[in-house]
């Protein structure tokens, strides 16, 4: 029989000191307790359990000595000695080392719970768990352990938060495997643990992603994106459609099914037809995702064609501007006629009429408004051609 080498122990209001005992026979545990050098209790001779300051339980390798804070103060010096007494051979009693007890004020450390970012683990991507705990001592370390233990950790696992990539040796987490997470809060005197077992979430399945038509002309053909038939236990389902650029980065195109968009060829292939890769991400409510890609062939238009199209659009806009200007001036002219009639009856003969002034303004402004509209449209045309 042997004791684990323990020389001192720090404890809070309610703590447990676990003594590791290796024994091949049954035994009981007793103790002696000193306060400031004076023996205050000897359970070997005093068998009255009501007067015990310490509670000793167990007769195996996990013998536990429990402390009550009401009996210990931080100003006093305490020493504890534990005795292992074989049940059938008390003469073989083993005296343990004297352990210095160090009472501490404040609340004891506590690991309350492990809180995952979602009830299920994602098979791929980043998973995150947080340990909820009460720890006020900088000496404590937070150590995470995962079983199976070959997950790829993204950050240092010393801390109340853990982030890891849902992969094992490059493969997604297994949907049939249960993963166990243990956080240990420990210093050299004690260790507290909390364990959480989690299953793996399945990503959405069974759906389709279509492009209609599957090819088009640059800046001319509207391509309709349709996502349908996707199912999952964790609803609702959401979508993100992204265009994959030449450098591998992705830009968001749409989050709704049935929307359309006109595409351009890539900047590297200006004036040439090119393939555009679109990636659809289908997410469930817990963040598990499925990625599906489609290739879209876009036929390039020459710079002359693009310029002609822009010019035609500008002419239409210009005509609309002129019509709007003429309608506005027509209203002014109508108002001026009413004013002139009214003023003829009220002003002395020979006085300038405000209505006549508006009429002259209308006639002089018509051509001016047309010129301004055409100049504005010309500026838009130059800006569009420059940006393209």
What would the pLDDT profile of 207-262 be if each residue is shown by its tens digit?
Answer: 999 999 999 998 889 999 999 999 998 899 999 999 999 889 999 999 999 999 99
Please say whether the beta carbons of 96 and 1 come within 8 A.
no
- CA 281, 282, 285, 286 dihedral sign is negative
Q: Which of 388, 374, 291 is nearest to 325 (CA)?
A: 374
Whether 353 has a pLDDT exceeding 60, the answer reads no
| Tokens describing residue 318 | 């210009």
| Tokens describing residue 287 | 């963040």
Q: What is the pLDDT of residues 272-287, one digit of tens each?
A: 778 999 999 999 998 8
Instruction: Identify the pLDDT of residue 40.
Output: 85
Q: What is the pLDDT of residues 99-127, one digit of tens each?
A: 888 777 666 677 889 999 889 998 888 88
How much is the mean pLDDT over the chain?
77
Instruction: Identify the pLDDT of residue 87.
Output: 84
Q: Which of 65, 75, 67 is nearest to 12 (CA)?
A: 67
Cross-strand partners of 171? 168
Q: What is the pLDDT of residues 131-182, one digit of tens each?
A: 988 776 667 788 888 888 777 777 656 678 888 888 887 788 888 899 999 9
* Order of strands, sheet of 8-11, starting from the edge strand that comes earlier in the sequence: 8-11, 94-103, 78-86, 27-35, 38-42
Residue carrying structure tokens 């938060």? 161
CA dihedral 119, 122, 128, 130 (to 10 degrees): 20
Q: Which of 152, 122, 116 is nearest to 290 (CA)?
A: 122
Q: What is the CA radius of gyration of the chain?
A: 42
Q: Which of 23, 21, 103, 91 is nearest to 56 (CA)?
A: 21
CA 323/CA 297 separation, integer angstroms:
40
Report residue 367's pLDDT band, with 50, 70 and 90 as the boundaries: low
The three state secondary structure string of the chain is: CEECCCCEEEECCEEEEEECEECCCCEEEEEEEEECCEEEEECCCCCCHHHCCCEEECCCCCEEEEEEHHHCCCCCCEEEEEEEEECCCHHHCEEEEEEEEEECCCCCCEEEEEEECCCCEECCCEEEEEEEEECCCCCCEEEEEEECCCEEECCCCECCEEEEEEEECCEECCCCCCEEEEEEEECCCCEEEEEEEECEECCCECCEEEEECCEEECCCCEEEEEEECCECCCCCCEEEEEEECCCCCEEEEECCCCCEEECCCCHHHCCCCEEEEEEEEEECCCCCEEEEEEEEEEECCCHHHHHHHHHHHHHHHHHHHHHHHHHHHHHHHHHHHHHHHHHHCCCCCCCCCHHHHHHHHHHHHHHHHHHHHHHHHHHHHHHHHHHC
Whether 380 has a pLDDT exceeding 70, the answer reads no
Instruction: Identify the pLDDT of residue 106.
Output: 65
| Residue with more model confidence, 229 or 40 | 229
Instruction: Identify the pLDDT of residue 258.
Output: 95
| Residue with more model confidence, 195 or 8 | 195
CA 308/CA 11 separation, integer angstroms:
84
């Amino acid at each position: 029989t042997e004791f684990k080498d323990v020389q001192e122990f720090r404890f809070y209001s309610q703590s447990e000191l676990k003594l590791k005992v290796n024994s091949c026979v049954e035994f009981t545990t007793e103790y002696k307790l000193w306060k400031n050098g004076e023996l205050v209790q000897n359970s070997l001779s005093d068998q009255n359990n009501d007067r015990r300051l310490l509670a000793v339980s167990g007769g195996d390798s996990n013998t536990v000595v429990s402390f009550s804070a009401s009996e210990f103060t931080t100003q006093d010096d305490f020493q504890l000695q534990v005795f292992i007494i074989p049940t059938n051979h008390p003469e073989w009693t083993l005296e343990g080392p004297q352990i210095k007890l160090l009472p501490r004020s404040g609340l004891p450390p506590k690991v309350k719970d492990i809180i995952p970012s979602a009830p299920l683990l994602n098979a791929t991507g980043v998973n995150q768990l947080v340990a909820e705990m009460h720890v006020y001592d900088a000496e404590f370390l937070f150590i995470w352990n995962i079983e199976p233990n070959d997950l790829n950790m993204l950050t240092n696992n010393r801390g109340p938060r853990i982030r890891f990539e849902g992969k094992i040796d490059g493969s997604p987490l297994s949907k049939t495997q249960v993963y166990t997470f243990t956080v240990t809060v420990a210093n050299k005197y004690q260790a507290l643990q909390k364990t959480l077992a989690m299953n793996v979430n399945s990503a959405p399945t069974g759906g389709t992603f279509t492009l209609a038509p599957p090819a088009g002309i640059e800046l001319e053909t509207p391509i309709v994106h349709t996502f349908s038939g996707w199912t999952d236990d964790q609803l609702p389902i959401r979508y993100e459609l992204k265009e994959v650029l030449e450098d591998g980065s992705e830009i968001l195109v749409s989050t709704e099914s049935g929307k359309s968009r006109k595409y351009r060829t890539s900047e590297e292939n200006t004036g040439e037809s090119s393939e555009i890769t679109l990636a659809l991400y289908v997410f469930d409510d817990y963040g598990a995702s499925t990625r599906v890609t489609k290739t879209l062939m876009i036929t390039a238009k020459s710079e002359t064609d693009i310029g002609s199209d822009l010019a035609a659009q500008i002419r239409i806009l210009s005509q609309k501007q002129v019509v709007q200007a003429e309608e506005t001036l027509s209203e002014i002219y109508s108002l001026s006629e009413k004013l002139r009639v009214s003023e003829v009856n009220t002003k002395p003969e020979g006085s300038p009429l405000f209505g006549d002034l508006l009429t002259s303004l209308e006639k002089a402004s018509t051509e001016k408004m047309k010129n301004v509209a055409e100049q504005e449209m010309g500026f838009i045309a130059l800006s569009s051609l420059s940006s393209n």
